[in-house]
Structure 1
Amino acid sequence: MFLCMVLISLNCNSALLKQKNDVEDTRTFGVPLSCLLNLPSVNIPRIVTNICEFLLKYGLCVEGIFRVNGSAKKICSLKSLFDVSPDFNLTNSYVHDIHAICGVFKLFLREIPDGLVPALPTKSVIKVLMILDTLAEENYILLKYICSFLRKFLAHESVNKMPASNLGIVFGPSLNLSLINLIIYSLVNLWFAHKILTDNEIWRLE
């Protein structure tokens, strides 16, 4: 799955190089979060709320949601559409492409410069509170939003077969690609995912 997403990212980026400069200037993927939050009232990238709202409406009870790979061709196509407009309308006609939509969502997270959760020494990864306290405000807000979003899928895990451990495996590489020790990272990631998805007390008081 991880290799698949890397190949999709490379193929999509290659295709995007062929697009016109005016499209490149408005791209959504691979740019700092601060560049996507250019309005005072906006603290979550529009592409994220757009996709999350769609998935909450149509994907809560889809077995293997986020885990089943979508079509690489459709993911690249959706990426191009969202680069032109993060408000691209995901109508119910896209329900049959729901795994591709999950794929483009994970791809967006993967391509955030420096990762949504910046690289830290492996020995410090399990210190969840320390990790959260080091995040830039826009990263923290987005991570909290995503965790709140994923909790809704945990509430339906008996149907969609996606407990916290599965979500950790799926979203770990999308949140941070910088940790080299993949074995340790995978084990820590399961614990980290369970902690941030189920423990309200670790979040900063608003």
Structure 2
Amino acid sequence: MQPPVVNVTDCCLFLCSLKQSKSAVRLKEDMKKIATLPLNKQREATCRKVFGVSLQVLQQQGFTKNGIPLLVWNTVEYLTQHGLTQEGLFRVNGNMKMVDQLRLKYERGEEVELAKDADVCSVASLLKLFLRELPDGVITSTLHPRFIQLYQDTRNDAEKENNLKELIKELPDSHYCLLKYLCQFLKRVAEHHMENRMNVFNLATIFGPSCFHGCLN
């Protein structure tokens, strides 16, 4: 007795329906799990992108504190407590494996305890990485030409300083808050330059490219 002939089309339809059925079951189960999570856990489960996301999107998703991205807030707080006197702060790269692990935890929405999970140099590298991967720099690309023009201006320093203050005010709120927060922190770092060997010039050399994405392209 010959085996029954199986129509290829029918077989494909069966496999597709089976796959859809399994997917539907998995989706239903996942939705049940999400529904039982607290609201903050639901947000983490559905949206975990942290790096390479605009400041505005991070703010809309609630991944900020006092207008500052949570990752920046956490790393700056940690470095303020543990890293101000670290020699070569921001100049010496951290352990890249540790940096990748920290990044993955933030991307997954996992709880990160920097005091337990990291060291000063790795946290500093994580902060630099976050800033480098912003879609637009802390200083938005639309304002780059005017900042360069102001830098090249030959007028007296007092007038340039006033013009700089006015220009900075034109930044979007999220960028303005981040720039102000970073400057306040880096000022504290520079105040310890005798210990950490990071004066204003050294810090500007490191953070300039992160703040001015594409400025020299």
Same fold (TM over 0.5): yes
RMSD over aligned CA atoms reads: 2.4
The 1:65/1:23 distance shift into structure 2, 3 A limit, reads farther
Question: How many pairs are equivalent?
Answer: 158
Tell me which residue corresponds to 1:124: 149
Query: Which of 106, 111, 136 is residue 114 of structure 1 equivalent to?
Result: 136
- In the TM superposition, residue 162 of structure 1 has moved relative to its aligned partner by 0.5
**Is 1:64 paired with 2:88?**
yes
Tell me which residue corresponds to 2:199: 163
**Is 1:29 paired with 2:51?**
yes
Tell me which residue corresponds to 2:101: 77
- Name the CA distance, whole Å, in 2 between partners of 1:143 and 1:86: 26
Check conservation: 1:154, 1:162, Cα contact below 8 A: yes
Check conservation: 1:50, 1:87, Cα contact below 8 A: no
SS of corresponding position for 1:109: helix
Q: Which of 1 and 2 has greater Rg? A: 2
Runs (4+) off by over 6 Å: none
Q: CA deviation digits over 1:37-88, x for unaligned, max 9?
A: 2459731111111111110111010001011112222222211112223752
**Is 1:52 paired with 2:88?**
no
AA of the residue aligned to 2:213: L
Tell me which residue corresponds to 2:175: 139
AA of the residue aligned to 1:147: C
AA of the residue aligned to 2:96: A
AA of the residue aligned to 2:91: R
* TM-score, scaled relative to structure 1: 0.68
* TM-score, scaled relative to structure 2: 0.65
Check conservation: 1:29, 1:112, Cα contact below 8 A: yes
- Name the CA distance, whole Å, in 2 between partners of 1:125 and 1:30: 29
The 1:168/1:41 distance shift into structure 2, 3 A limit, reads closer
AA of the residue aligned to 1:148: Q
- Name the CA distance, whole Å, in 1 between partners of 2:118 and 2:96: 15
The 1:114/1:26 distance shift into structure 2, 3 A limit, reads same
Unaligned runs of 5+ in 2: 1-43, 152-162
Unaligned runs of 5+ in 1: 1-21, 182-206
**Is 1:177 paired with 2:199?**
no
AA of the residue aligned to 2:200: A
Check conservation: 1:23, 1:83, Cα contact below 8 A: no
The 1:89/1:83 distance shift into structure 2, 3 A limit, reads same
The 1:86/1:102 distance shift into structure 2, 3 A limit, reads farther
- Name the CA distance, whole Å, in 2 between partners of 1:86 and 1:176: 30
